[in-house]
Amino acid sequence: MTLLSVYDFAAGPLFAIALSVFLLGSAYRVLRFILLAKKADPAALKGFRPAWALKSILHWLIPANITARANPLMTVAGFAFHLAFFAVALLLSAHVVLWDLAWNVSWPTLPDAAADWLTYLFLASAAFFIWRRLALAHVRALTTPSDWLVLALTLAPMLTGLIANRQWGDYDLFITAHVLSANLLLIAAPCTKLSHVVLFFVSRAVTGSDFGKRSVGAW
């Protein structure tokens, strides 16, 4: 089996499988979260207040919350990490072209130079998280092998994509590794802490609605 055939499989059938696993797995995690929340506190979901749910989500996305104010450096690194990742994943022209070829859908894209700088920003943020887990005793004590695995899964598509784009090595090898690692990330997301990509919004919505009913504020 050649690298080209592996790439074609990874970018075609395997990507469709990985995307299906991500969507179905995420839907399951959301449903499970709602059922567990209802079981733990039936009153939390009664009289759900969308306005308070949205306010709570926005407080964390802006950010305007207690945690962000208490940890400004972590907040900056966290936002840089997440925003850069999703901007490159969703708006890189090469990615949008693949969506257009596969499903005839497209949307505006980032200039390639901007995508490069966002990738560097992501890698710098990832380096900060690695340093933090190694250098700070209280963080190191709480870090598990699964935490390193999650970070590696997130880092791999961005790093291999950059190497392939810059042609710093064997292009066929790194572009194939890029697509395979992206598929692995999609498959792993619902089964790991990466599920927070969808559970964040659900948990914030439930918490925000409940706090609103209690007149606590959006936190």
**Where are the extended beta strands (E) located within 20-102?**
none
Residue 145 within a domain: yes
Residue 113 within a domain: yes
As a whole number of angstroms, the distance between CA 183 and CA 160 comes to 13
Residue 58 within a domain: yes
Please count the other Cβ atoms lying within 10 Å of the Cβ belonging to residue 85. 21
Residue 219 within a domain: no
Residue 218 within a domain: no
Backbone angles phi, psi at 217, to 5 degrees: 110, 175
Check residue 130 and give its pLDDT: 95
> Pick the residue with more confidence: 140 or 101?
140
Residue 138 within a domain: yes
Integer-rounded Cα Rg, in Å, for the chain is 19
As a whole number of angstroms, the distance between CA 20 and CA 26 comes to 10
**Where are the extended beta strands (E) located within the chain?**
none
Check residue 68 and give its pLDDT: 64
Check residue 126 and give its pLDDT: 96
Check residue 215 and give its pLDDT: 60
> Pick the residue with more confidence: 208 or 91?
91
Check residue 55 and give its pLDDT: 79
Helix (H, G, I), strand (E, B) or coil at 104: coil
Domain CATH code at residue 187: 1.20.950
DSSP 3-state percent helix, strand, coil across the chain (nearest 5): 85, 0, 15
Residue 124 within a domain: yes
How would residue 81 be classed by pLDDT, with cut points 50, 70 and 90?
very high
* pLDDT tens digit sequence for 160-196: 999 998 889 889 999 999 999 999 999 999 999 999 8
How would residue 49 be classed by pLDDT, with cut points 50, 70 and 90?
confident
pTM: 0.87
Least confident of 34-48, 68-82, 90-104, 116-130: 34-48
Q: Is the pLDDT of residue 218 over 60?
A: no
Residue 208 has which token pair? 């925000």
Domain that holds residue 191: 3-213
Peptide bond into 108 cis (omega under 30): no
Question: How many structural domains is the chain composed of?
Answer: 1
